[in-house]
Amino acid sequence: GQNIDQPTEMTATEGAIVQINCTYQTSGFNGLFWYQQHAGEAPTFLSYNVLDGLEEKGRFSSFLSRSKGYSYLLLKELQMKDSASYLCAVRDLSGGSYIPTFGRGTSLIVHP
């Protein structure tokens, strides 16, 4: 299996930049996903990384280093609506399963 570790909670100021880290341990890495989940709502897809490097999508970027078992989600120009939980999920094929495993999520609080 894989261990996925994220900070439990982070706070940031509106307009600032925040980086949410995710570390994992796998023997058959095959992709990392980031999802956003607002309170009481379903998770929605943000990004996918399978190769090393940075993927940019508007105000959100996601970075992956496979050798370090590390990813981060970067949120720029923070808005109040970005207050949500951010879930890191990793797909590990070593057990023959294509099912992504989710971390516990990072609760981001954006304040004025």
Partner 1 sequence: GAGVSQSPSNKVTEKGKDVELRCDPISGHTALYWYRQSLGQGLEFLIYFQGNSAPDKSGLPSDRFSAERTGGSVSTLTIQRTQQEDSAVYLCASSSNGLAGVYEQYFGPGTRLTVT
Residues that bind partner 1 (CB under 8 A): 30-31, 33, 41-45, 48, 50, 87, 89, 91, 93, 97-105
Write the CA distances from 111 to 60, 71, 73, integer angstroms.
18, 25, 19
Please, which residue, 48 or 70, has the CB nearer to partner 1? 48
- DSSP assigned state of 28: S
- DSSP assigned state of 80: G
Please, which residue, 39 or 112, has the CB nearer to partner 1? 39
CB of residue 101 vs partner 1: minimum separation in angstroms? 7
Please, which residue, 16 or 27, has the CB nearer to partner 1? 27
For 15, half-sphere exposure in the C-beta direction (CA atoms, 13 angstrom radius) is 1
* Amino acid identity for residue 35 in this structure: Y
CB of residue 16 vs partner 1: minimum separation in angstroms? 25
